[in-house]
Chain A
Amino acid sequence: MNKNNLLLYSGILIFGIAAPFLFPAFKVQLSILCVLIVLATTWNIQGGEMGYNSFGNILFYGLGMYLCASVQVGMFFPLAEWTESGGEKTFVHTPAQFFQGMAVGLIVAAVVPTIVAGLIGYSILGLRGHYFAICTLGLGVAAGEISGGIEIIGAGQGFTTPPFPDVGSLDSRGEFFYFLSFFVLVMTFIAVRVIYSTRFKLILNAIRDNEDKAEAMGIETMKYKIVGWMISAFFCGLAGGIMGGLVGYIDSTDVAFDGREMGVFMVLMAILGGKGTLWGPIIGATVFHIFKEGFWTFFLGWQYVALGVLIVVIVIYFPEGIMGWLREKYPERFGEVVDEKDRKAQVELK
């Protein structure tokens, strides 16, 4: 890590910590942004680096969301009665109970999806290309439909997560969730950065470029694919758990297993920023979130129409993403050696 990088990282860190105080009105938006960046970055691990384009990471996100909320409630109160009362204040968490429940809930929300990814990984990751994409799409939708029929987690009418307890100042809820999501974001970034500097990333890239050859070189591709997916699932589950608390209400198909929204968002953000780069998903998520909020405000009611158009436009005209475009424009900055003569010749050829 050179001096420039250190400066950049500390600058971002300081900005991240100061952000809720600089923009107090946007605390919730900033926390959502953190969650979106986490989702895009972890999608990129198996979507961008490994070449396994999944629509199904929403499965882990929704699983984490339900698990975190269920554990948080179930540790202190009967879960069935809670969901039946539909968010009425018959049971109230004390602050200690709330935070204790949240901590245990987040651990469960991270660990269980990881185990699930490990268990189904062997069967699902044997599929390739578009079969994998469609299969994971099916998984996500099936999870949403099935969880919408389970009575104990609220079935069709939804699940109200425990309300934030009355502690300290008025706005401690926003700050708590912001710092929680920012902490997870920093954790994710460090984890991804460490992963991307090891041999593991090179193996993932080898799988993306030619899986048969990678296997022929003696790499046990299945093992690495499963581990890659499990890392994704771990952070997706965490992000889901936080998002559940932040939104305050879980619905099976509209909030948790929302393949139409979040499930596509994470793919789109990674593609917009540039698949297979460290910074791409982060930039993509930030740009996407700003655009999305703009759409949601100015085209109220037409937001999904705008979203559909946005997907088509991004996919057709920017398949390489922002980072890909920058790389094309300034190859020197990415450590590529450019032969000036060669480039001129190519320009003339065009």
Chain B
Amino acid sequence: MISVQACLDGILLGILFALIAYGMALQWGVMNIINIAQGDLVILGGYIAYFMYLYGIHPAWGVIVSPIIMFFIGIAIYKLVINKVVDRDLFISILATFGISILFMQLMNFAFGADVVLANSDYGTTMLFNSNVVLPNSKIFSAFISILFAICLVIYMKKSKLGRAIRATAQNARAAKILGVDTEKVYAATFGINAALCGVAGALISITFTIHPYMGLPYTIRSFMIVIVAGLGNLPGVAMSGMGLGVFEEFADYILGTEFRIGSVFLLLVLILVYRRFKLSRKREYLK
């Protein structure tokens, strides 16, 4: 029964990870940037929902409010920093976003304090299998909302004009520019959409789990891992590997103990990269 519990928890958690990873895959594919500050944007989104909860508004409304605020924060970050590193060496962008990550981490630490907080949604729990498996309704709610947002985004990407422009830029930025796409605007919008997705995920995390100013980096690493396992632009793959990671984490938590949970996530990243490196080196190739 514990394994069923861990599996279900993991899958519901994994859907959230997949949402964050989708944002990362989007900006990686379009702008060729790996955003180390991804996790910190998630946590910031979570704090917006938490503040609504503090002022007496139901935190579920954070799912609507926090992406709107985060969209503008994302655009501001893009205008201030990212547009100067977009066409530069990848390592420069990694380091620049690392700086943003440290900055956000500390600003959140000052603004919201170093306590572990959660926004209580009072959704109750669902019992399954003769009360052997306990699922908080907030987790089911968050998984449902994440899927909803992901579907909306996919449709938006397929149908709208901006979505087409983003996809065109991802395929070939230069050709898109020649054909009249304002790539600068597309980049800004992509970063904004990514930040908004982080905002949704953060609001959901603040309802279901806990948030803390320093918890950002593990979310970045998780989404990076999901993207490299699934590949860019492979949405079902992102969803599947997100759930897989969630299940892995729940089992690692259960078997090794909570203190090794984050450590095992980071170790899994190293193992996955090394595995892929050996697999590719047989064909005399390397990860690109």
Contacts and interface: CB of A to CB of B under 8 A. Distances in A.
Contact of B96 (A129, A155, A156, A315): A315
B277 interface: yes
Nearest to B81: A312
A142 interface: yes
Contact of B267 (A137, A146, A315, A319): A146
Interface string A181-201: 000000000000000000000
A146 B106 CA distance: 24
Contact residues of A: prevailing secondary structure = helix
B65 interface: no
Contacts of B278: 123, 126
B266 A142 contact: yes
A79 interface: no
A223 interface: no
B263 interface: yes
B269 interface: yes
Contact of B106 (A137, A268, A304): A304
Given A146-B263, A149-B260, A127 B99 contact: no
Interface string B33-44: 010000000000
A141 B266 contact: yes
Given A129-B91, A315-B96, A304 B263 contact: no
A120 to B, nearest CB: 9
Interface string B80-109: 010011001111101110111111111101
A146 B260 contact: yes
Contact of B277 (A127, A155, A309): A127
Interface string A245-266: 0000000000000001000100
Contacts of B103: 304-305, 308-309, 312
Given A142-B270, A311-B99, A130 B90 contact: yes
A232 interface: no
Most chain A beta-carbon neighbours within 10 Å: one of B89, B107, B263: B263
Interface in B252-288: 257, 259-260, 262-264, 266-267, 269-270, 273-274, 277-278, 281, 286-288
Nearest to A312: B99
A134 B34 contact: yes
Nearest to A156: B259
Contact of B98 (A264, A305, A309): A264
Contacts of B267: 138, 142, 146
A278 interface: no
A213 interface: no
A307 B104 CA distance: 11
A138 B96 contact: no
A310 B105 CA distance: 15
Contacts of A141: 217, 221, 262-263, 266
Nearest to B281: A126
A58 interface: no
A133 interface: yes
A304 B109 CA distance: 10
A288 to B, nearest CB: 14
Contacts of A139: 266, 270
Contact of B84 (A260, A308, A316): A316
A163 interface: no
Contact of A308 (B100, B263, B264): B100
A332 to B, nearest CB: 28
Contacts of A144: 263
B106 A316 contact: no
Most chain A beta-carbon neighbours within 10 Å: one of B88, B217, B257, B266: B266
B98 A127 contact: no
B50 interface: no
Contacts of A175: none
Interface of A: 53, 123-124, 126-131, 133-135, 137-139, 141-142, 144-146, 148-149, 155-156, 260, 264, 267-268, 271, 301-302, 304-305, 307-312, 315-316, 319
Given A141-B263, A304-B102, 20 more contacts: A53-B91, A128-B288, A129-B288, A130-B90, A134-B269, A139-B266, A142-B269, A145-B262, A146-B263, A148-B263, A260-B102, A301-B110, A308-B105, A308-B106, A309-B99, A311-B98, A312-B96, A312-B99, A312-B103, A315-B85
21 contacts: A126-B274, A126-B278, A126-B286, A127-B277, A128-B288, A129-B90, A134-B269, A135-B270, A138-B266, A138-B270, A141-B221, A149-B257, A149-B260, A260-B102, A304-B109, A305-B110, A307-B102, A308-B99, A308-B100, A311-B102, A316-B81
6 A-B pairs with least C-beta separation: A308-B103, A311-B99, A145-B263, A142-B266, A304-B106, A308-B102
